[in-house]
Amino acid sequence: MADARAKSPSWLDAAWQTVFRLGFPLARAYWHLRRPRHEGALVAIHVGEAVLLVRLSYRKSWHFPGGSVRRGESPALAARRELMEELGLTLTAPLVSAGSASGIWDGRRDRVHFFELRLDRLPAFRIDNREIVAARLMRPHELAQVSTTGPVAAYLARARSPPRRASARPNEPVEAGR
């Protein structure tokens, strides 16, 4: 399956990666103490049966492209902004809302909005080599063999579950654990 790794980091990229690697554990410690609320937007980019996952410089688990929703920003706009920032992708195809999940992840009370982008082929993209250090298209059998973040695991579990009753609301939040 397609696998993209960033080139060897420049000194500036390496400095950013170090800041992320040192800052993330400190942020997590603060979040565990304060339990702040957080809202995020993630994009599941599907190419056939495979989905694109990214590796962040400060995490061991695979994640979807995306990030925080800024104050006054809609989740859909945040998802588009994050795709541009993290992968250099400017979308012409529509993002489809795929619901949301809530849980306590990394010590934060998190609500994550999911969006899907279904493509025939993966467009050219760039890895910033600061926050994102690898990207990989993974098929369903590969997903079961890798570690994913809590929100990604919640999305994948819902995608594998049987369809909801017709009376269920399509954007109904799904509660997920740690």
Tens-of-pLDDT digits for all 178 residues of the chain? Answer: 566 666 688 899 888 888 888 888 888 888 888 888 999 999 999 999 999 999 999 999 999 999 999 999 999 999 999 999 999 998 888 899 999 999 999 889 999 999 999 999 999 999 888 899 999 999 999 999 999 999 999 999 988 766 554 433 444 443 333 3
Report whether 63 contacts 149 (CB < 8 A): yes
Q: Is residue 171 part of a domain?
A: no
Domain span holding position 9: 3-161
Position 177 in a domain = no
Asked if the structure places residue 168 within a domain, the reply is no
**CATH classification of the domain holding 73:** 3.90.79.10
- The model carries a pTM of 0.83
Q: H/E/C letters for each residue in the chain?
A: CCEEECCCCCHHHHHHHHHHHHHHHHHHHHHHHHCCEEEEEEEEEEECCEEEEEEECCCCCEECCEEECCCCCCHHHHHHHHHHHHHCCCCCCCCEEEEEEEEEECCEEEEEEEEEEEECCCCCCCCCCCCEEEEEEECHHHHCCCCECHHHHHHHHHHHCCCCCCCCCCCCCEECCC
Q: Answer for the pair 140, 49: CB distance below 8 angstroms, yes or no.
A: yes
How many independent structural domains does the chain possess? 1
